[in-house]
Amino acid sequence: MPPRILIVDDSLQVRNVMRKIFESEPGWQVCGEASNGKEGIEIAQQIHPNLIILDLSMPVMNGLEAARILNASMPGVPLVMFTSFSTHVLEEQALAAGIRKLIVKSGSLSELVGCVRGLTKNAA
């Protein structure tokens, strides 16, 4: 099944860039967007994406808090953290929260696309 992706990031510009990149891939669909973790959880429970991309630093609820809740309520849905920050401690916290992969925004967007491709290739 092609990826149905929920993007959760407080930057409209980042969401727009990700939407453009993902929707240029055949069959991929951005099925929703949210500007904070709380809104992301609400939308995810309504639309049932098969992959969720979370920013770390957002107002109302950050990506780690949202990941803990999403992982508990939707354990089969892969979570990817796409963030400006990366430390060993953050990676450990992200994994503990249910994040499958942490990708730094300053890196290559092809890494993000490859990650989505790998995490959703066996989605049903």
Please indicate whether residue 9 or residue 86 has the higher confidence score (pLDDT): 9
Cβ-contact 80, 40 below 8 angstroms: no
For tokens 């790998």, name the residue.
118
Is residue 83 within 8 Å of residue 67, measured between CB atoms?
no
| Distance between CA atoms of residues 83 and 9, nearest Å | 9
Q: Fold for 4-120, please state it.
A: Rossmann fold (3.40.50)
Residue-level pLDDT at 87: 84
The three state secondary structure string of the chain is CCCEEEEECCCHHHHHHHHHHHHCCCCCEEEEEECCHHHHHHHHHHHCCCEEEECCCCCCCCHHHHHHHHHHHCCCCCEEEEECCCCHHHHHHHHHHCEEEEEECCCCHHHHHHHHHHHHCCCC
Q: What is the pTM of this model?
A: 0.92
What was the pLDDT predicted at 124? 43
Question: For 95-105, what is each residue's pLDDT tens digit?
Answer: 999 999 999 88
